[in-house]
Structure formats: C-alpha cells, structure tokens
C-alpha cells in the first residue's frame, strides 16, 4: 500500500511559513514518483466512477519518467485504465518534427502513451513543426482547447 501525500495548510507551520504553495519533501525521488503516480491513478479512477473524463496536464524531462513507469505498471497489471483520460502536454521544442527522438511527442509515446489504453484523439501535444507565421494562431487555438476542456483536475 502506497501512502498518500499529506497536504498541509501553507504558511501555518514553522517549516511552511514562507511557502505560497504546498511543498512536500520525500525520502527519495522514487518514493515521490510512486506517490504521485498513485495520486494520479486515484484521480483517474475517481473520474471513471463518476463517468467523467480525467484531464491531465503532463510534463516531460527526467523528473516524470518514474511516475510514467509506475502508471504503465499499474495499467499492465490491470489496475488502471486510461480510457477516460485526456492529456495536454505543456510544451514542445521548436522547430522539431514530432517523430524526432528529441521531441516531446516522441518522449511521451516512448514513456507512457504507447503502453496504455489512452485514445489517440485524447492526446494533445503542441506541434513543433508549425510554420512560424502560423504559430500565434496555433498557440491561441491550443490555449482555447485547454480552457474549454471540462474536468481539468491535475497538472503534473
């Protein structure tokens, strides 16, 4: 059983008096990754029980890799389905083709999407190959997609 993250009121205690947002210190990055993955899984399951989509904002880089590995393990064990999950990635390199090994599109598919049952139409990653003269409108449209999405509950 993985423990849950304990949220403390910001600024109420000596160790949080200067914080503006909740922070938690973990014994290791692996421990933190497992806790975060289980928190995400619990949110997904809660939304499934309510018959609602679970909208996630996802990050890339080395920090979330262990989180994604844990989510994939939960999916493979039959403990978690991503059928109701809608994702928005926060960024992408520019200019870059989505199939380039350094793209976040490639990263997310390598570490998460290729290993779970998320519907491809529910995956939203900024397009790093947009023409420069189309970039402003593309960004406006992407932001509107996010803004108009109901059920936004978790940004990792």
- What is the distance between the alpha carbons of residues 12 and 122, in angstroms, rounded to a whole number? 39
**How much is the average pLDDT of 22-51?**
92
Between these two residues, 63 and 12, which has the higher pLDDT value?
63
pLDDT attached to residue 76: 98
pLDDT attached to residue 97: 97
**Averaged pLDDT of the chain:** 90
- Domains in the chain and their CATH numbers? 27-155 (3.40.50.1360)
pLDDT attached to residue 11: 62
Per residue in 83-94, pLDDT (tens digit) is: 999 999 989 999
pLDDT attached to residue 149: 86
């Amino acid at each position: 059983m993985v423990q849950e993250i304990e949220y403390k009121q910001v600024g109420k205690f000596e160790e949080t008096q200067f914080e503006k947002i909740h922070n938690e210190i973990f014994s290791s990055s692996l421990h933190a990754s497992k806790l975060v993955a289980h928190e995400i899984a619990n949110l997904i399951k809660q939304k499934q029980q309510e018959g609602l989509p679970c909208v996630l904002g996802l990050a890339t880089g080395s920090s979330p890799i262990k989180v994604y590995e844990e989510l994939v393990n939960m999916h493979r064990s039959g403990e978690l389905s991503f059928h109701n999950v809608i994702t928005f990635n926060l960024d992408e390199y520019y200019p870059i083709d989505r199939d380039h090994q350094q793209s976040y599109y490639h990263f997310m598919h390598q570490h998460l999407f290729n290993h779970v049952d998320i519907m491809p139409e529910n995956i939203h990653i900024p397009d790093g190959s947009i023409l420069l003269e189309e970039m402003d409108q593309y960004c406006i449209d992407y932001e509107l997609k996010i803004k108009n999405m109901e059920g936004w509950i978790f940004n990792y």
